[in-house]
Amino acid sequence: MRCGQGTRPKLPSKIFRQSSKRRTAHVRRLGSIGLYTLLSTISTLSHAAPLTSEAGGLPLLLALSVSALILMLLVRNQLLFDRLQKQLQESREQKHMLELLTENMTDVVWRVDKDHRITYICASVKRMLGYDPEELQGKHLSCLLHPDSAEFAHSLLQQMETEAKRGEYQGWADTTVELQQRHKSGETLWAEAVVRVFFNSEGEFDGAQGTTRDIGDRKQAEDAIRHLAFNDPLTHLPNRRLLGDRLNQALINCARHKETCAIFFLDLDNFKTINDNHGHEEGDVLLKEVAHRLRHHLRESDTIARFGGDEFVIISQFLGEEFGHAQASAERIGQKIVELFHEPFQVGGKPYQIHTSVGVALCDGQHGNSSELLHQADMAMYKAKVEGHNNIVIAPPH
């Protein structure tokens, strides 16, 4: 339809035909004052410029079309901006929730880059190791490890890299290790690390992430269980089980180094009389005093074990290659053991005089096993008792 004189062209969009008040409300719902200003300007121009001909209306129609396109782009940009703002807010909330979670967890979450430098570590590291997270940013991971554990971790990583280069891993591998970590105060604590190690396409180390937790209480409990399994609960000396392991190792050392070792079997001569007359409590204290004196006066390399009751066994290694020299050394050690019992033991402020009979068996690691050697030493000890208390007998070589 042609536009006659004094008539105005129809606006190309429904929004332009709205009243000023409704148009304002609509655009403001989009959240853009700039769009409202643009529409107001276009509406003013359309009322202020009457069209006298079809040709004269073309510039205005073109302007209105371009303006409508710009309007649609602005509306789209506004919608995208609103969406990004919403996503940013959600991201902030998720980050806040993650911070709350990591701050209150006992485990430490961390990540390192391909150069082993810390790129992230959560706030719980303060509770575990005494560091603020900011102090550790960019630091080499080894600064948190005891030197022994740092060496172990380096060796483990080299092994995993070798396996990755053989194609055994597809980009990453998981491992769990126990390490000693260094607290900021300088103290050392045991920790368990659950780690995911990343590799590039060439199988080279490309970073790692994981969680670390303090296992000090667990290690302490394990040590206590191990101690109970291998040590006498009264004297804390090695028990029969640990004695057997130590004796087997001594025989291996003898054979390897062509040395001679000696096994001393001790029995307290008059302990039963003291135990019966003064009670088991004082008898137990006396046994602990005997163990203490033996530990204090014999070599640190010697193994002192409680075999049972009032019997003790001592393993002394590296007495010499030549049998005669080793036998002479064993006699000197046996005599020293006997002399340790010359001085009375103090129990509850009262002196107790006890003596010991000692049987000795020598071994070069080539003949006899641990059971046979213990039997030889035991038989020599009984012979020492028969020959008189406070005595030493060396079993004949086999």
Across the chain, the runs of DSSP E, i.e. the strands, are: 108-112, 118-121, 172-182, 188-199, 205-214, 261-268, 303-308, 311-316, 345-347, 350-352, 356-363, 392-394
Q: Say if strands 356-363 and 392-394 run parallel, antiparallel, or are unpaired.
A: parallel
| CA nearest to 395, candidates 280, 208, 283, 262 | 262
Q: pLDDT digit string (tens) for 131-162?
A: 999 999 999 999 999 999 999 999 999 999 99
Q: Which residues pair with 392 in a beta bridge?
A: 358
Q: pLDDT digit string (tens) for 251-280?
A: 999 988 889 999 999 999 889 888 888 888
Tokens 């019966």 correspond to 276
How is residue 197 annotated by DSSP? E
* Residues 6+ positions from 271 with CB-CB distance below 8 Å: 283, 286, 287, 310, 354
Q: What is the CA radius of gyration of the chain?
A: 44
User: What is the overall mean pLDDT for the chain?
Assistant: 85
- pLDDT tens series, the chain, 398 aa: 444 444 444 444 444 455 545 544 554 454 444 555 555 555 555 555 554 445 455 666 777 777 778 878 888 888 888 888 888 887 777 766 666 666 667 899 999 999 999 999 988 899 999 999 999 999 999 999 999 999 999 999 999 999 999 999 989 999 999 999 999 999 999 999 999 999 999 999 999 999 999 999 999 999 999 999 999 999 999 999 999 999 999 999 998 888 999 999 999 988 988 888 888 899 999 999 999 999 999 998 999 999 999 999 999 999 988 888 999 999 999 999 999 999 999 998 899 999 999 999 999 877 778 899 999 999 999 999 998 878 999 998 76
79 — alpha (psi -120 to 50), left (phi > 0) or beta?
alpha
